[in-house]
Amino acid sequence: MNKGVIALIEVKDLTKKFGPHIAVDNISFTVNDGEIVGFLGPNGAGKTTTMNMMTGFLSATEGSIRINGYDILDEPIKAKKQLGYLPDVPPVYGDMTVEEYLSFVCDLKGIKKSKRADMLNEIALTVQIKDVYKRLVKNLSKGYRQRVGLAQALVGFPEVLILDEPTVGLDPKQIIEMRALIKKLGEKHTVILSSHILSEVSAVCDRVMIINKGRIVATDTTEGLSNKAGNSMQLVTIKGDGYTACDKLDEWADIKSARVVSDNGDGTFDIKVTGRESIDIRELIFNTLANENIPILCLKPTALNLEEAFLKVINGELEDSEALNVHMVEGTDEREAE
């Protein structure tokens, strides 16, 4: 599958209002063929509202959504055929067996009877539910119910999967299995994944979008967001007096702090240098220490993990959006919760 070639999801100028409250505020983005995109944000940021509009459960106040070229409002049947949706609470019926439930979903999606057996067999093997196929859904564990919910999203083999908190309530083993499954699904489907577990997003997603107060405030690869957000923090190994080096670096306004983190006992020191947010301080460090005749043996960024980068974005602490390749938007007034 050629990633990044075809935009399967196109969201343009999307707004949703509930009375005077703005839940989603004029957002635009695209998701390309084959991508697994993490959709992140704090509670009440507008994630679920956005996904509900993308799936056609909610209508937009303004703007448009196209799924594989079909407008979700103008051509809803064609657009929804391109979609599989797993909400945060799987839409399963406890008094049906797994087989009966998936057959019912086939009825809803208009799948021809001649194609059902092979399709459902393939889906059951993919999500690993063959061993519970004849059991009542209400008697299944949380993990299996989540898998059945994912199975219904796969009926019809849609191009796009939208997964809202797919691992919520699962135990650690089930979470690992679900992550592996989502990664596998990304080989054949375009996936949007909403999750509060940022380590999960780092493990499976190619790119993240962060929404806050109804607006998209950042978009980048998981690695890019973490590493670039950490350009303002450097770990420096020097030969010489580490404390003199710190004193000289602290004289600059663009450097917030410089401190010795390790006296290596061989005449070298490790120093952690933190600059103003989103300022690349490497050249400043090099020139300052060169002027003091203090050799630099190693200079490397201290990358943030995704959780730290997420908090910096949400708190508005990243100042230079171009340096981050992140689209930053100023905060707005309080919005409607999801």
The answer to whether position 71 is within a domain reads yes
Asked if residue 248 and residue 188 are part of one domain, the reply reads no
**Biggest distance spanned by C-alpha atoms of the chain:** 79
The answer to whether position 286 is within a domain reads yes
Asked if residue 181 and residue 77 are part of one domain, the reply reads yes
Asked if residue 164 and residue 205 are part of one domain, the reply reads yes
pLDDT band at 275 (very low <50, low <70, confident <90, very high): confident
Compute the residue count for the chain.
Answer: 338
Tell me: pLDDT of 230 over 60: no
User: Which residue range is the domain that position 250 belongs to?
Assistant: 231-301
Asked if residue 270 and residue 182 are part of one domain, the reply reads no
Asked if residue 255 and residue 168 are part of one domain, the reply reads no
- Enumerate the H helices of the chain as residue ranges: 47-54, 76-80, 98-109, 113-127, 142-154, 172-185, 198-204, 222-229, 242-249, 282-291, 306-314, 321-324
The answer to whether position 255 is within a domain reads yes
The total of structural domains in the chain comes to: 2
Other CB atoms within a 10 A radius of the CB of residue 74 amount to 10
pLDDT tens-digit readout, 193-229: 998 777 788 888 989 998 999 999 888 887 767 655 5
CA distance 41 to 53: 17
Asked if residue 258 and residue 222 are part of one domain, the reply reads no
Asked if residue 163 and residue 69 are part of one domain, the reply reads yes
Asked if residue 54 and residue 182 are part of one domain, the reply reads yes
pLDDT band at 278 (very low <50, low <70, confident <90, very high): low
**Model-level pTM?**
0.71
Asked if residue 237 and residue 194 are part of one domain, the reply reads no
pLDDT tens-digit readout, 232-252: 778 999 999 999 999 999 999
Domain boundary among 183, 210, 227: 227
Mean pLDDT of 15-43: 93
